Amino acid sequence: MSWLLAFLGFAVLIILHEAGHFFAAKAVGMRVERFSLFFPPLLAKRKRGETEYAIGAIPLGGYVKITGMNPAEDIPPEHAHRAYYRQPVWKRIVVIGAGPAVNIVLAFVIMACVFMARGPVEPPLVVGTVAAGQPAAGKLEPGDKVLAVDDKRLTGPYQDQVRDVTNAVNSHANGGEVSFTIERDGRELTVTGNTFYDRELKRNRFGFGYDQEASRIDAGPVRASEEAVSEMWFVTSTTVSTIARIFDAQQREQIGSVVGGYETTRQTIEQQDLIVTLYVLALISLSLGVINLFPFLPLDGGHIFWALAEKVRGKAIPFSVMERAGFVGFALVLMLFVIGLSNDIDRIQNGGFGLR
């Protein structure tokens, strides 16, 4: 059942993306010939008015076919005035930008709801699990609040503090001694112990985890919206920087594909955690919107880029120029897809996506 629900989740994101293009095109007076969920060959189709609604056999996306998207196509004279390339630049940008905009707005709405249902976590870090037989056993206890590491006070947001503790512990190689300042039963005390090397995680550890629920706070609509914007900015900047450094081997390993997104969604559904599932779908919707805005064809951002170039130039860009640029863009998209798919296959073969 989880695979079906994950599939339906992806289908909804695609439908809403294409619906953005569809309704925007209708609103500015363009002629929409087809609205298709998934790619051909078509499994089913039905015509309503001037638009054909279809379902394709290849579940890798969807599309809205607007008359005149290709300047070279033959257009009946009675429809020529409604063709895409006959419209002002602003109308074209509105229509193309509507798809990614829907995904980004949807991601914001879902994330805000997620933060309202399960508020953000704030410092201090609270000890959760303490692994038996590890250095932390007998030193730390569940409920301890971690205030400092190696006499350095922890400051900043929750995730920054987690990172600082991880880095500090990892800096003590070969069983080096690390110290923690904690609060227990209202009293501050310092505990010390030696680190150990975790071969699976490939870093030095002390042997404890955090109880995020103990650090979680309630968030109203305003705070939840602020957290959603902050999270979206972090994800967007990370996505852009990772793709921008595609020739860096470590960064390249972080790239994923639709297969990884589907499998991650399926696993969260199996865990029967609705909040986490919604969060994952919000991330996928955001990624779909952001990546589609990259300025090269055949992505939406490529169409926006050339529309703006036409506005700056003051006249239409030759289709041959856009066609050549499209080949380059298609090659880049294909390269990203192949790299992401290879990474996802490797993750599946080596234990999945780390969901616990």
The catalytic residue positions are 18
- Please enumerate in sequence order all residues whose Cβ is within 8 A of that of 290, keeping only pairs 6 or more positions apart, or say none: 100, 104, 236, 239, 240
- Please enumerate in sequence order all residues whose Cβ is within 8 A of that of 243, keeping only pairs 6 or more positions apart, or say none: 255, 291, 294, 336
Cα separation, 146 vs 49, in Å, equals: 65
Cα separation, 208 vs 201, in Å, equals: 14
DSSP character string of 172-217: S-TT-EEEEEEEETTEEEEEEEE-EEETTTTEEE-SEEE-HHHHB-
Q: Let me know the angle formed at the C-alpha of 98 by 97 and 104, rounded to the nearest 5 degrees.
A: 90
Residue in the block written with tokens 């900015």: 233
Residues comprising the chain, all counted:
356
Give SS3 for 61: strand
- Please enumerate in sequence order all residues whose Cβ is within 8 A of that of 186, keeping only pairs 6 or more positions apart, or say none: none
Question: Rounded to the nearest 5°, which phi and psi values hold at 317?
Answer: -80, 130
CB 255 within 8 A of CB 340: yes
Cα torsion at 49, 13, 303, 75 (round to 10°)? -20
Residue among 71, 72, 86 nearest 31 (CA): 86
Looking at this protein, which amino acid is placed at residue 238?
T
